[in-house]
């Protein structure tokens, strides 16, 4: 039995749950999210808890069991507290600014790079070298953060580029002179 899958997901009182055979809808103070449930997984809503069960011990059902439970837990967290991802920019002359729903980056290229952010994700740029992404869907927040980081990933020689807050970039030595 999956150790993650057998734990119930606690649902706060301000969250509305609608469980159908292959769809779970959650609505809370920050928004509404839906999850398609794969075949062989059952979700039950009892006593302010979501219980995830599987129909057999086949490999596909075992792998989906914990995954569905983890997705439900992330959804509950997202619609109550929200998810947050922070990025930092390092490098001389590298900066970001917010113009409407676009982030304009200066990343050492010959042109400014514009990145359009979808409406589901809220973006703030508190300083020229910091970006904060917030939203209720952890997948969308993580995807947008990864796309922004992909514009100029931190390189291993000088560490310049966009990275997650607190990310440690392994540095390489560079050239060495031999006699």
pLDDT digits (tens, 9 = 90+) for 23-34: 999 999 999 999
Mean pLDDT of 98-122: 94
Residues of the chain with CATH 3.90.930.12: 9-80, 83-164
Which of the four pLDDT bands, split at 50, 70 and 90, describes residue 2? low
Give pLDDT, residue 173: 86
Q: Closest Cα to residue 129, out of 92, 84, 88, 85?
A: 88
Strands 83-90 and 113-116: unpaired
| Angle (deg, nearest 10), helices 138-151 and 59-80 | 90
CATH architecture classification, 83-164: Alpha-Beta Complex (3.90)
Give pLDDT, residue 176: 79
Q: What is the mean pLDDT of the chain?
A: 92
Share of the chain above pLDDT 70, in %: 98
pLDDT digits (tens, 9 = 90+) for 162-172: 999 998 989 98
Domain 9-80: top CATH class? alpha beta
The span from the CA of 62 to the CA of 55, in Å, is 9
Whether residue 159 contacts residue 149, with contact meaning beta carbons closer than 8 Å, is answered with no
Give pLDDT, residue 5: 84
| Rg of the chain (C-alpha set) | 21
With a cut of 80, say whether residue 152 has pLDDT above it. Answer: yes
């Amino acid at each position: 039995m999956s150790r993650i899958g057998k734990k119930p997901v606690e649902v706060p009182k301000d969250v509305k749950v609608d469980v159908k055979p292959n769809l779970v809808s959650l609505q809370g103070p920050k928004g509404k999210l839906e999850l398609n449930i794969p075949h062989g997984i059952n979700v039950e809503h009892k006593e302010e808890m979501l219980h995830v069960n599987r129909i057999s011990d086949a490999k596909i059902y075992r792998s989906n069991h914990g995954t569905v439970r983890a997705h439900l837990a992330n959804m509950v967290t997202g619609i109550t507290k929200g998810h947050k991802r922070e990025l930092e920019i390092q490098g001389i002359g590298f900066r970001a600014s917010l113009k409407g729903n676009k982030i304009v980056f200066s990343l050492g290229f010959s042109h400014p790079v514009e990145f359009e952010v979808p409406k589901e994700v809220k973006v703030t740029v508190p300083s020229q070298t910091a970006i904060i992404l917030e939203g209720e869907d952890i997948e969308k927040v993580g995807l947008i953060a990864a796309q922004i980081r992909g514009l100029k990933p931190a390189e291993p020689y000088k560490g310049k580029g966009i990275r997650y807050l607190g990310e440690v970039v392994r540095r390489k030595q560079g050239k060495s002179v031999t006699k």
